[in-house]
Chain A
């Protein structure tokens, strides 16, 4: 599945929900399914501090593909992280750098990636891209 197809899949999954609360119930379900990071791995270098919630992001490169693990203290943030990881995990750094998470907008979650929301998600997407860029120019 291409990275665009993965995003389309998420959009389709959400299309069945008309009510905002149903959408968020599903995001919370996704959040609960995210494995997260063990307390020992929640180190300062992985922390992305937000005004409203905190996010931790760890990254590894295997056979030219990037794998992310992440966690958040708020479950809605964690649910959105789950979707971002679903999209970006297992992709090459080049693909990651070229791909904007358009599904966020399509699902109606734009506010969570706005700079004013300050839940750490926008910074997390930036960090994912920075990691991708750094893996190309180590």
Chain B
């Protein structure tokens, strides 16, 4: 399917959720960082699967099972080609980004020993902090944190100082969910590789905004969630380089991940099945495949340019508000505008925006250490997708002004 010219209206028409009213107001959905809405084609795929194609995969000789297996494996190949992975064996279906990171922390972690260092950054989501803390407790590894500037950019000098032969893994977010910062991952990966460290990219916020080429990036792992990229919840992807995944022990035991089981000794299935114990989220995988096919039908370059324009437009207006502070002013950022307003609690602002039909996220966004760094309890975060418009931003700004009036009066 060739890409059609980018039209926000044509895209919006495919998202039923965007057509609804809340509290009698047209919904404006600016919480895309938390989860994206789903296009009709994904909804149809899920319905079709459960209505007519439902069967368990990989072990049935019957027609439906073979059909479901084909669809599931086709979804894997669609995703493989979308992120330009070398082989479908490098695409592991998980529950989501968190599950994918935990898989690496547990399984790759088994290859580490006491004293080995894990490097993360100060802008990580809790999902890219806690699994490493658990690993450090389990194996006696040491967690190191790359600091950031007040603008929300990584301190590259400190990064190079923290990087050493002891660093076994550098796990960082590609785009910060709270700040919108796009990290310079290409050069960071190169530098980490120079000391022999592997690199995991948390792609939860980048898969839906950037073109991802895992071969060109040369990252060792890339994790993302289906539901943030217009697919279903409960499904995600761990990409891992084949030679690394081969060395890693299984994460969970059960059906599908085995070659042969006896009470004395069990041998494991080949990649990618070694890491997919139990009946997977078949519908979710097929739904995610259809979400990726939907993306393939769009002019993604134009979509990314539109998202960047929305970000700059919103930030430009908000910047003129007295007492409003943008949190995250990196030069290279997209799709997220996080802010605080003097003497106004994010919860109050979020509640008043909600009553005007506008969905934003308030709070610490699962990045408490980052909030501590800025010395704030939380922010209001507007996060955009390519189906959002400047007109929506104008309505949001007017609603924000009204909320500020009420709270300040």
A53-B355 contact in complex given A20-B23, A73-B377, A75-B407, C-beta closer than 8 Å = no
Enumerate chain B residues within 8 angstroms of A77, measured Cβ to Cβ.
Answer: 347
Number of A-B contacts (CB under 8 A): 40
Cα(A25)–Cα(B404), bound, Å: 11
Give residues 18-64 of A contacting B (CB, 8 Å). 20-21, 24-25, 28, 51-54
A67-112 residues with Cβ-Cβ distance < 8 A to B are: 73-77
A7 within 8 A of B: no
Q: How far is the CA of A13 from the CA of B407 in the complex (A)?
A: 20
With contacts A21-B356, A75-B407 taken as known, whether A51 is within 8 angstroms of B348 at the C-beta atoms is no
B351 at interface by CB-CB < 8 Å: yes
Known: A51-B363, A52-B362, A52-B363. A24 touches B347 (CB 8 A): no
Q: Provided the pairs A21-B406, A52-B362, A52-B363 are in contact, do residues A119 and B347 lie with their beta carbons within 8 angstroms?
A: yes
Q: Is the CB of A24 within 8 A of B363?
A: no
Give, as a whole number of angstroms, the nearest-CB distance from B314 to chain A: 22
- Chain B neighbourhood of A28, CB < 8 A: 348, 406-407
- Count B interface residues, CB 8 Å: 18
Closest residue of chain B to A25, judged by CB?
B406
Report how far A20 CA is from B406 CA in the complex, Å.
13
**Within the complex, what minimum Cβ distance (angstroms) separates B345 from chain A?**
4
Closest chain A CB from B318 CB (angstroms)? 21
Q: Which A residues lie within 8 Å of B377 (CB)?
A: 54, 73
Q: Assess the A21–B347 pair: CB atoms within 8 A.
A: no
Q: Render B355-382 as a binary contact track against A, CB cut-off 8 A, 1 for contact.
A: 1100000111000000000000110000
Q: A56 to B167, alpha carbons, bound, how many Å?
A: 44
Q: A51-B363, A52-B362 are in contact. Are A74 and B348 (CB under 8 A)?
A: yes
How far does the Cβ of B357 sit from chain A's closest Cβ, in whole Å?
10
A76 with B348: CB separation less than 8 A? yes
Expressed in whole angstroms, the minimum distance between the Cβ of A21 and any Cβ of chain B is 6
Q: Does B352 contact A (CB under 8 A)?
A: yes
Contact of B406 among A24, A53, A73, A74 (CB under 8 A): A24
Q: Do the beta carbons of A24 and B345 come within 8 Å of each other?
A: no
- Residues of chain B contacted by A20 (CB below 8 angstroms): 23, 355
Q: Is the CB of A24 within 8 A of B362?
A: no
Task: Name which residue of chain A comes closest to B366, CB basis.
Answer: A51
Q: In the complex, are the beta carbons of B355 and A75 less than 8 A apart?
A: no
Which residue in B351, B364, B378 is a CB contact (below 8 Å) of A24?
B351
Q: Which residues of B contact A75 (CB under 8 A)?
A: 345, 348, 407
A53 engages B352 (CB within 8 Å): no
Residue B58, interface by CB 8 Å: no
Q: B84 in the interface, Cβ–Cβ < 8 Å? A: no
Is B139 an interface position by the 8 A CB rule? no
Q: Is B402 an interface residue (CB 8 A)?
A: yes
C-alpha spacing A28/B350, complex, angstroms: 14
Taking a contact as CB atoms closer than 8 A, the residue among B345, B378, B402 that contacts A21 in the complex is B402
Max chain B Cβ within 10 angstroms of own Cβ: one of A51, A76, A77: A76
Of all chain A residues, the one with the shortest Cβ separation from B25 is A20
A74 close to B352 (CB less than 8 A): no
The residue on B at minimum CB distance from A29 is: B409
Query: Which B residue's beta carbon lies closest to that of A112?
Result: B351
20 A–B contacts from the bound complex (CB under 8 Å): A21-B352, A21-B355, A21-B356, A21-B406, A24-B352, A24-B406, A25-B406, A28-B406, A52-B350, A52-B363, A52-B378, A53-B345, A54-B377, A73-B345, A75-B348, A75-B407, A76-B351, A76-B352, A77-B347, A119-B347
Residue ranges of B at the interface with A (Cβ–Cβ < 8 Å) = 23, 345-348, 350-352, 355-356, 362-364, 377-378, 402, 406-407
A-B complex: 4 closest residue pairs judged by Cβ atoms: A74-B345, A74-B347, A20-B355, A52-B347
